Chains A and B, each alone.
Chain A
Amino acid sequence: MKIKNLAIAWLTFGLLSANAHAQTEIQWWHSMGGALGEALNGLANKFNAGQKDYKIVPTFKGSYPESMTAAIAAFRAGNAPHLLQVFEVGTATMMAAKGAIVPVAKVMGDAKEPFEPKAYLPTVTGYYSDLKGNMLSFPFNSSTVMFYINKDAFKKAGLDPNKAPRTWKELIAAAEKLKASGQQCTYTTSWPSWMHIENFSAWHNVPIGTRQNGMGGFDAQFSINSPLHVRHIAMLGDMSKKGLFTYAGRTNQGDAKFSSGECAMFSGSAGAQAGIKKAASFDWSINFIPYHDDVKGAPQNSIIGGASIWIMGGKKPEEYKGVAKFMAFLSQPEIQMEWHTSTGYVPITRASYDLTRKSGFYDKNPGADMPVRQLTNKAPTENSKGLRFGNFVQGRTVIEEELEAVFAGKKDAKTALDEAVKRGNEILRQFEAANK
């Protein structure tokens, strides 16, 4: 009896492992936790169920910087994953690592899989392509920064809840009324550098840095101490002093301040919608981010955040075939729509946007198409295509440190932004030297 069981066990084991050998495994390291991770696993399972030759194995490796660090360490040790999800600020680092990555266009071309960079929104393609227009990584989850208001608080303050402030002037006027109505925190923000420096620049069509925001080469310099930048940050510092702006922190801490009702207006990721939907016990709306109405050409278009999938180098041709098949699978409008509607990330191809609109999703979820409309508000310029700065993890920290000094009233906007440019440029020169 025992022996028989054992024999069966061995036999099944043998069959299973034989089965596993026939499949080519493709490792995918990502940073999608919680509900997002489930949606991602859903995509992988669907692909795995649809064919037998390849198996995508997704592994959650922690936050964006954590999985990038893990992949770098794995690469140095000679066992990097095939696919790596990298956040937008890591783009320059990945792009510079020529021997460590393979451009997605090359992998698709080699495997003769269809791939059309033009299918993507221009703001998305621009962010992940080199100057010749070659797409280097595969756009996956993209968001942008949006402006949210608490309609109930607006009503209480005697403001029209259906008219969200469109300009900073209107926002300040609304903030004053909200404050007078007893609202403790009138405006807050998540991701201060992304919102108030990076997207602010694109939205007003002014450069973040020279050389097309760094896309033209590693010798770029920051230009975030322009009079317009100084004016905007000084305005925020002034609002902070008057109690019209409450600083929440460097990441997404603003989200909770809005969804708990503490703050009546808030700028944060389009991806914050899901959390607000779940937590907010009040009526709210999602809107375009405010602009300064005396700036010519504003509002332009906002830029993306989020991440793309990079294909790592040094793998077998057979494995790259599987990678190409998976990328082709992910490119389908139906799959893109599923990802967009289940996560709140923006639809990144025209086809998936049209498909989602036709499905009636936007009629049932008003405002869900605001992010993509803001991203495509106008055809992107050199200033609003995106940005690409080396070691931008450090660069952002520098910007945030200097912004905090302004919000705390320790430095004036001009001094702080001059300092941010000076320190930021040192980081860029270091990156340039390391990647000569």
Chain B
Amino acid sequence: MEKRVVFRSAWLPYVLVAPQIVITILFFFWPAVQAVWFSFQLQDAFGLKTQFVGLQNFTALFKDGNYLESFKVTALFSVLVAFSGLAVSLLFATMADRVVRGALAYKTLLIWPYAVAPAIAGVLWAFLFAPSIGIVTYVLKGMGVDWNWIIKGDQAMLLVVIASVWKQISYNFLFFFAGLQSIPKSLIEAAAIDGAGPLRRFWTIVFPLLSPTTFFLLVVNIVYAFFDTFGVIDATTQGGPGQATNILVYKVYHDGVKAADLGGSSAQSVILMVIVIALTVVQFRFVERRVQY
């Protein structure tokens, strides 16, 4: 039986959802429409001269080999962030789920990083890994690792992935933890009585039952990696060295906010929007089939 609330009034439900709709239109749809509009324009920084240029901003982008390279960098970055973020948080959640004493303290500590702004997270990690003064660099040097992300692209990528994942772990952890707690203990106990070891119990019972959570988090994390990570990049590598960490969203930020090139930046954000919409559709059509609700 589905539970339904039926309004008698014809207008009351609309009034009740109106604030939400107004906010969505004002802060989500309106800027998106503006971005699309700007992407067909060529403007000077102050908006004094505006020309309609059609698709010129887009063709310029796709002629630029570095922009195409940025797609590859973004793909690598997003896959790394989403998968390692999910894996680590799932590990933490299962561990925290087994703890009996002091569980609250562990949980609080794990949720903590979520309150830290991305730029601050970036600065923290940049300090720890700073090429000459960082503590981690010092330890790595002692172990014979030549750590210098200022010039080594793969190390720079590793650094921004770690910083971005760290930032997202708490969010993922919360959902996984809630998901784990809703799995009936009886199922796991029954399997244990049948002789299934902890690993086997995890992969055959817990993991499939967690799949709706995992799927949801996959979507959220990919969106996070695509859109929300420019703060971390700006505070650490600023897209360098070379173009090693120049992901699409950072280029949008750099060109639009720092370099005041609104047309080019808008065209890039439109492309980014299309990619994320496409990715989300793909995830819902193909990945969701394997989810068991």
Contact = CB atoms under 8 A, between A and B. Distances in A.
B132 A257 contact: yes
Given A65-B258, A69-B257, A93-B45, A401 B242 contact: yes
Interface stretch (B4-12, B111-119, B150-158, B203-211): B150-158
B238 A250 contact: yes
A434 B240 contact: no
Contacts of B232: none
B288 interface: no
B151 A436 contact: no
Contacts of B255: 394
Contacts of A404: 151, 240-242
B132 A260 contact: yes
Nearest to A65: B258
Contact of B48 (A99, A240, A247, A410): A99
Given A404-B240, A408-B152, A430-B264, A435 B49 contact: yes
Among A100, A401, A405, A434, max chain B CB count under 10 A is at A434
A253 interface: yes
B287 interface: no
B150 A247 contact: yes
A303 B239 CA distance: 28
B260 A410 contact: no
Given A65-B258, A96-B44, A262 B151 contact: no
A239 B249 CA distance: 34
B64 A100 contact: no
Contact of A97 (B46, B64, B246): B46
A415 interface: no
B259 interface: yes
Contacts, number: 100
B260 A93 contact: yes
A196 B34 CA distance: 40
A18 interface: no
A162 interface: no
Interface residues of B, number: 35
A102 interface: no
A191 B259 CA distance: 18
A44 interface: no
B59 to A, nearest CB: 12
Contacts of A72: 45-46, 260
Interface in B19-49: 42-49
Given A98-B48, A410-B242, A426-B64, A434 B257 contact: no
A433 interface: yes
Interface string B230-271: 000000001111110010000000110111110110000000
A338 to B, nearest CB: 32
A143 B232 CA distance: 30
B109 interface: no
A69 B258 contact: yes
B132 A262 contact: yes
B274 interface: no
Given A250-B240, A408-B153, A435 B44 contact: yes
B60 A393 contact: no
A184 to B, nearest CB: 9
A198 B175 CA distance: 52
A410 B154 CA distance: 13
A249 interface: yes
B66 interface: yes
Interface in B174-191: none
Interface of B: 42-49, 51, 60, 64, 66, 131-133, 150-153, 238-243, 246, 254-255, 257-261, 263-264
27 contacts: A65-B259, A69-B258, A75-B47, A76-B47, A93-B44, A93-B260, A97-B44, A98-B48, A99-B46, A99-B48, A240-B151, A249-B240, A262-B132, A391-B259, A393-B259, A394-B255, A394-B261, A400-B240, A401-B239, A408-B152, A408-B242, A410-B242, A423-B66, A426-B64, A434-B51, A435-B44, A436-B51
The 5 closest A-B pairs by CB, nearest first: A404-B241, A393-B259, A97-B46, A100-B46, A394-B259
